[in-house]
Amino acid sequence: MRIAYIITWNLSHNDGVTRKVLRQVQEWKDLGHEVQVFCATEKKGENIPGVHFFIKDHVWSSPLAAIRNRKVYSSLCDAVVNYQPDLVYLRWEFHKKSLNKLMNLIPTVIEINTLFKGEFKRRSRENWIEFIRYWYYLMTHNKFNKSSSGFVSASKEILELGGYYETKKPCSFIPNSIPISENQETVSYSKPQSGIPRLVFISSGIQPWHGMQNLIELAKNSIGELEFDLITGFDAESLELPENIQIYSFLEKEDFMKVFKGAVAGIGSAGLYENGMDEASVLKVREYLAAGLPVIVPYKDTAFLDKELPEWFLELPNEAGALAREKENIIIFVKKMEGFRIPLYDVIPYVGSKYWEAERVKFMEDVLNNS
């Protein structure tokens, strides 16, 4: 297949989404498909092979921003048409007339990564801009749903609660994954000089669903018992952090792997209830597992649904304050896991990308054949 991947994102920032997109593209190429990425972004960094950038304005930066952005997306869609793909893979985007027109020309699979109605409804209470975004979503999202040829989501729950099965379009849930080879090595374990076990938490933003306040509450209640490494993609100086949290600015992979060496385990997002979600396949958890770290997951992970949880996977309730309330269980788990690294052949069946991306491509082929 010849695939056009459309995304609105800052692909010059080496965050979890960027790594995921570029990994997907490479996996699809390795499976014998041709892929080009068409990216609308406010910031363009270094050129990335196979990625076409279209520079847009921040939506609310000026009265003319919306007019200019319509032209930007129109140019992006023209470039996609000129590329003559068999299928478009669209990472979910707010409705735009040019994109909707493109979807009616070329079979399009939309990737859904969150329960948008729940997320936008919560955010609508923050300010008037988010209120407008929420109502724009409510008024327009069905237009995309009607024009789409199929939906692929990162969790089963999203398809069910988001009403995608009701569209009668092909649907599939495929958890996020990460490239792992049985030949690669796990990170080693270096016990901290303090002798106090450390946990690592990656957060690319300060949005409530990351659960930052839950992490801070746990840290405050476990001074002298646990220490934390917070790897952030935002300015954390506005947060009042306890003394047992060490902050790192957003790191390249080789650098956050050094931080992982001192960690007993990694913690997943701790605030999904803010978006009305109880299930996900969070990218940071895949990063931990690919390094061999045991994980603490305060929600249902899609890749582990209906399976007996391994000893290196601690599942906690998806509730406000759950991390602090479960402190004793976390400490028991940490003591049990200290110094342990998961053999990667045990990790691959859950989150290895070779299998899951082949499943995603198979779904796209089925959608194309039935379009």
Question: What are the tens digits of pLDDT across the range 281-308?
Answer: 998 999 999 999 999 999 999 999 999 9
Q: What is the pLDDT of residue 136?
A: 85
pLDDT in tens, 138-175: 888 888 899 999 999 999 999 998 899 999 999 999 99
Confidence band of 205 (pLDDT split at 50, 70, 90): low
Alpha-helix runs per DSSP H in the chain: 16-30, 65-83, 97-105, 116-123, 128-147, 156-161, 212-220, 253-261, 283-290, 322-325, 327-337, 344-351, 353-370
Rounded mean pLDDT of the chain?
91
Q: What is the pLDDT of residue 315?
A: 98
Residue 210 to residues 42, 55, 206: CA-CA distances in angstroms?
A: 23, 28, 7
Confidence band of 64 (pLDDT split at 50, 70, 90): confident
Q: What is the pLDDT of residue 233?
A: 65
pLDDT in tens, 220-248: 999 999 999 998 866 666 678 899 999 88
pLDDT > 70? residue 62: no
Confidence band of 371 (pLDDT split at 50, 70, 90): confident
- Name the more confident of 210 and 288: 288
Q: Would you state the structure tokens that stand for residue 353, as one six-digit string?
A: 């990308």
Q: What is the pLDDT of residue 209?
A: 79
Strand pairing report for 87-91 and 51-55: unpaired
Q: What is the pLDDT of residue 237?
A: 64
Alpha-helix runs per DSSP H in 266-343: 283-290, 322-325, 327-337
| Contacting residues for 86 by C-beta, under 8 A, at least 6 apart | 1, 2, 3, 106, 107, 368
d(CA 202, CA 366) in angstroms, rounded, equals 36
pLDDT > 80? residue 251: no
The answer to whether 143 touches 270, Cβ cutoff 8 Å, is: no
Core vs surface per residue 43-74: b (16+ CB within 10 A) or e: eeeeebeebbbbebeeeeeeeeeeeebeebbb
pLDDT > 70? residue 128: yes
Q: What is the mean pLDDT of residues 23-43?
A: 94
d(CA 102, CA 73) in angstroms, rounded, equals 11
d(CA 15, CA 278) in angstroms, rounded, equals 23
Q: What is the pLDDT of residue 367?
A: 97
Find the helix packing angle between 97-105 and 128-147, rounded to 10°: 10
The answer to whether 344 touches 296, Cβ cutoff 8 Å, is: no
